[in-house]
């Protein structure tokens, strides 16, 4: 199903309550779109092309809460509850604009390289001409210009809808590469090229492969040790110029935020983003609770923060 909104696009979230029989009908309807649940109280989750469905556990009543998120939320709410009348929450999004090209393309971007804690994520995404309406629907833009809450809301939808490749490199692997003499730009170049190559084999119709520029083209080519795909362009602020890079940046950000949440669950905390002095303060407390060795598994030892924390140890 392709969405074709002309001027104003709505991202809807709404909820209904269904009895056991209705819940069974809903689960059967969305069975082909079932995905792992993402919460302690979620008993069923499905993601179709433009809707996220969650069924919540309720042990005290005969009815269970069901939420729908996405442009088709109202349609499905009415389908399973004929008495449903209104949308409980609507966030209005205007179409994305300002992109330079709208042809079939591949774009690549990364997240986490500036964060002391957590992994790095490199994502490449394919966008066809026919995807432009839905790109506007989701108001895809440079992820740094988008609210993390909104990214988490649309993340499951766009991850399911658009073809992409993501590489998540955890801190142990990253620190191992640092120890072998790899710098951040070399790691970026190798991951971008690998992800782009995979997508290029799937979509031979792409016109250009865009990367948000982090080094010169000469250096990029020198960093890569594998075959390089054709028609690669490095541009500064590419995530604001090309829809494929913007899409890649949002999926990468969504993936990174999920990984940070997992890390927080393991250690029962919320890891701060970035590499500021506030991060240093958090790191000192973390070391007191878990030790320096554990710390080395959740941070980037190439960063100034690590050197400052360990210079007297």
pLDDT digits (tens, 9 = 90+) for 109-163: 999 999 999 999 999 999 998 888 888 888 888 788 888 888 898 888 888 889 9
pLDDT at 132: 82
Q: Which top CATH class is 9-92?
A: alpha beta
Q: Residues 85-103: what's their mean pLDDT?
A: 56
Distance, in Å, from the CA atom of 131 to the CA atom of 7, rounded to the nearest integer, reads 16
pLDDT for residue 15 is more than 60? yes
Q: List every span in the chain annotated with CATH 3.30.310.10.
A: 9-92
pLDDT for residue 166 is more than 60? yes
Residue 268 CB contacts under 8 Å (≥ 6 apart), including other chains: none
The helix-helix angle for 243-267 and 148-161 (nearest 10°) equals 110
CB 51 within 8 A of CB 74: no
C-alpha distances in angstroms, 125 versus 91, 96, 203?
25, 17, 11
Nearest Cα neighbor of 249 from 47, 96, 86 is 96
Q: Is 169 left (phi over 0), alpha (psi -120 to 50) or beta?
A: beta
pLDDT for residue 47 is more than 70? yes
Distance, in Å, from the CA atom of 281 to the CA atom of 277, rounded to the nearest integer, reads 6
Q: Residues 3-26: what's their mean pLDDT?
A: 65
Distance, in Å, from the CA atom of 212 to the CA atom of 220, rounded to the nearest integer, reads 12
* Alpha carbon 302 to its chain's center: 25
CB 77 within 8 A of CB 16: yes
pLDDT for residue 91 is more than 60? no
pLDDT for residue 313 is more than 70? no
CB 286 within 8 A of CB 293: no
Nearest Cα neighbor of 203 from 230, 243, 166, 241 is 230
CA atoms 182, 229, 251, 202: torsion sign? negative
CB 221 within 8 A of CB 185: no
Q: List every span in the chain annotated with CATH 3.30.420.10.
A: 105-261
pLDDT, one tens digit per residue, over 68-84 is: 887 788 888 888 887 77
Q: Residues 226-246: what's their mean pLDDT?
A: 89
Sheet holding 232-235, edge to edge: 164-169, 120-127, 105-111, 208-212, 232-235
pLDDT at 48: 82
pLDDT for residue 171 is more than 60? yes
CB 207 within 8 A of CB 242: no
Percent of the chain clearing pLDDT 70 (strictly above) = 90
pLDDT for residue 93 is more than 70? no
Residue 94 has what DSSP assignment?
Answer: P
Distance, in Å, from the CA atom of 56 to the CA atom of 45, rounded to the nearest integer, reads 9
Residue 133 CB contacts under 8 Å (≥ 6 apart), including other chains: 2, 3, 4, 5
Q: pLDDT tier at 97 (50, 70, 90 boundaries)? A: low
Q: pLDDT tier at 89 (50, 70, 90 boundaries)? A: very low
The CATH superfamily of 105-261 is Ribonuclease H-like superfamily/Ribonuclease H (3.30.420.10)
pLDDT at 59: 63
Average pLDDT, the chain: 85
pLDDT at 50: 74
Question: Three-class SS of residue 16?
Answer: strand
Say which range, 15-19, 56-60, 283-287, 288-292, has the weakest mean pLDDT.
Answer: 56-60
CA atoms 198, 219, 178, 111: torsion sign? negative
pLDDT at 162: 92
């Amino acid at each position: 199903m392709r969405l074709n909104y002309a001027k104003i696009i709505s991202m809807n979230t709404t909820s209904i309550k269904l009895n056991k029989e209705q819940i069974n009908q809903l689960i059967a309807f969305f069975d082909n779109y079932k995905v792992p649940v993402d919460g302690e109280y979620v008993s069923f989750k499905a993601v179709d092309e433009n809707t996220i469905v969650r069924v919540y556990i309720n042990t005290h009543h005969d009815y269970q809460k069901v939420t729908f998120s996405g442009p088709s939320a109202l349609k499905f709410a009415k389908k399973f509850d004929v008495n449903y009348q209104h949308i409980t929450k609507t966030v209005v999004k205007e179409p994305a604009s300002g992109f330079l090209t709208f042809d079939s393309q591949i774009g690549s971007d990364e997240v986490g390289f500036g964060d002391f804690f957590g992994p790095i994520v490199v994502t490449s995404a394919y966008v066809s001409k026919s995807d432009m309406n839905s790109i506007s629907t989701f108001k895809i833009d440079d992820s740094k210009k988008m609210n993390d809450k909104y990214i988490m809301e649309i993340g499951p939808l766009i991850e399911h809808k658009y073809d992409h490749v993501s590489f998540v490199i955890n801190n142990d692997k990253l620190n191992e590469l640092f120890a072998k003499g790899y710098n951040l730009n070399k790691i970026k170049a190798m991951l971008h090229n690998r992800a782009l190559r995979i997508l290029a084999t799937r979509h031979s119709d792409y016109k250009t492969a865009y990367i948000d520029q982090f080094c010169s083209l000469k250096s990029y080519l020198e960093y890569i040790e594998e075959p390089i795909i054709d028609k690669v362009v490095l541009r500064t602020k590419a995530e604001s110029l090309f829809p494929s890079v913007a899409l890649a940046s949002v999926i990468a950000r969504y993936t990174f935020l999920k990984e940070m949440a997992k890390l927080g669950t393991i250690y029962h905390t919320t890891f701060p983003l970035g590499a500021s002095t506030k991060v240093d303060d958090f790191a000192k407390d973390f070391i007191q609770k878990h030790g320096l060795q554990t710390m080395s598994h959740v941070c980037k030892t190439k960063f100034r923060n690590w050197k400052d924390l360990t210079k007297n140890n």
